Chains A and B, each alone.
Chain A
Amino acid sequence: MVELGQIAEKIRSKNAGPFWLTIDIFCGGRAVFDRISANLDTPRVASLFRTDPDQIKRFDIADLNVVKFSLPRPAVQGTRADRDMHGAAWAVLLEEFRID
């Protein structure tokens, strides 16, 4: 088991507008991409964000060695419940997530 942040080149989360969050895992190479693409399953990502797997859009982009997730923001940007205006810190949940 290894933390994603230890094998990926960079993991970035950003707003995709006020209502969506998008997370890009830049794997840095084909071997890491293949490992993450195969071993990071969407339902486990959904449970990290306490959302329904059906709400998550996933893109495994071999040309870029990137795995991308987009989901409705855990809290709509700027509402009373929001803690992170730019959606910058949610990437940490994946950086510290352990996979085979």
Chain B
Amino acid sequence: MIRVLIPTGALGLGYDRAALARGVAARPDIIAVDGGSTDSGPAYLGRGVSKYSRATTRAEWRDLMLARAEAGVPLVIGTAGTCGADAVVDWLYDITCELAVELGQKLRVTRLYSGQNPSQIAEAFAAGRIAALPAAPEIDAETIRACTNIVALAGVEQVQAALATGADIVIAGRTTDTAIIAALPIARGCHAGAAWHGAKIGECGALATTNPATGTIQIDFDETGFTMEPMAATARATPYTVSAHMLYENSDPFLLHEPGGALDVSGARYEALDDRRVRVEGSVWRPAPYTVKLEGARVAGYQSVSLTLVRDRRYVAQIRDWTAGIERRARADVAARLGLSEGDYAIELRLVGVDATLGDLETGGALPAEVGVLAIATAPSEAQAGEIGKILNPYLLHHALTEEEPMPTFAFPFSPAEMNRGALYEFCLHHVLTLADPMDAFRLVTDEVGHG
């Protein structure tokens, strides 16, 4: 039996400290925590940065390093620093080194790098080793080379290789959410279907329980299945909370593709052992050729944004005429003064309170008391985006619906009115790379850090 302790759904999200202490006392074989996902958008991968604060990450990682020392077992983080790019693996490594000294711990730390060289990925594309997944964007070698970061999602094999270095701590770049949890059970001969299925159930911490905010759970894996138990006194796992978790952020609730195969849970059986533990058996691992998924982000322009508040009842009632007039005047200025043609840039005035969330798909219709006009200028360079934002400014401040009325003025919450938000990134890969050996696209670096 292999016991995996999962402190929280993601480092930075928080957890119940008493639950973590209970988990450590239950003598786990490994502590595994997720550090990221694509869910917050492409900028984190594009820039190679974490979305969580360094102070929060440091505080929670400190707790986990103490828990690891007490349990005397490896601590593994997957998709470190939100995106798992090499730079952010090193960012967490630096935090780890600081904490090792502070806590008086002497540690063997292995970094598993998932970053890819765009030129080599472009060559693999040309060689036919990259295949598109459903709904993937069209790509060519130029798209791939334009990526500021590309990562491959490691599976259990790469995490197992990192653990085999004898590491006390593994800081992994991009991995699948499940790989860090499934790696040790599979290495020790537990049921492969159960290992992947339990890992999927556990990857969001206590989300598959009645009290998600408590974070900490443990999963016991063996030769026939797995048993899931929340560590907080206030949380319960039920056959419903566990089985329903396969729906979460999954386009197919019965099939999960992973490096080297797919998890099929269509025959899984969920049984309540008592009022807080659930036993699962019957999931199947279906081996397939070894591929790893790729994620890449590139710069798709630069943006300047501003917010104008329109509270005047007549203007609210005719808000589309108002924004159309502003757009027309600004576009004429952009052509005449910046020399940009229509296809080179974009101006969008989104109506907060009307349809800013759903756009063309909006089906509601009541007139709001006020409208926030979110102006978004996108251009090839940061300077051009800033210029367009400033060209919009006088119109957003004073544009009148008719020529006969006194000049109106609208509410701006900020000075300066425009915020240059830098590069707009976009995900441009939804593809898999075929590997002859699982380690072909990954690198391991092991160091001794701290003292004690």
Task: Spell out A's residues near B (CB within 8 Å).
Answer: 14-20, 22, 24, 26, 48-50, 57, 59, 61, 63-64, 66, 68, 70, 72-74, 76-80, 83-86, 89-90, 92-93, 96
Contacts and interface: CB of A to CB of B under 8 A. Distances in A.
Given A74-B361, A96-B364, A80 B424 contact: yes
Given A22-B249, A59-B253, A64-B244, A78 B42 contact: yes
Given A64-B240, A78-B427, 10 more contacts: A14-B248, A19-B137, A59-B253, A63-B243, A70-B251, A76-B426, A77-B427, A80-B300, A85-B40, A85-B41
B43 interface: yes
Contacts of A90: 358, 361
Given A49-B361, A78-B43, A18 B430 contact: yes
A19 B249 contact: no
Contacts of A48: 361, 363
Interface in B35-84: 38-43
Interface residues of B, number: 43
Interface of B: 38-43, 133-137, 240, 243-244, 247-254, 295, 300-301, 346, 348, 350, 356-361, 363-364, 376, 378, 424-427, 430
Contacts of B348: 80
Contact of B135 (A14, A15, A20, A79): A20
A83 B243 contact: no
B428 to A, nearest CB: 9
Given A22-B249, A57-B251, A68-B247, A15 B38 contact: yes
B250 A22 contact: yes
B68 to A, nearest CB: 31
B361 A15 contact: no
Contact of B42 (A18, A49, A83, A86): A18
A66 to B, nearest CB: 6
Contacts of A14: 248-249
A68 B124 CA distance: 36
A17 B348 CA distance: 26
Given A66-B247, A83-B357, A92-B358, A18 B38 contact: yes
A93 B364 CA distance: 9
Nearest to B424: A80
A68 B136 CA distance: 21
Contacts of B247: 22, 24, 61, 64, 66, 68
Contacts of B135: 19-20, 72-73
Contacts of A89: 357-358
Nearest to A69: B251
9 contacts: A18-B42, A18-B430, A59-B254, A61-B247, A61-B253, A66-B247, A83-B358, A86-B39, A93-B363
A64 B40 CA distance: 28
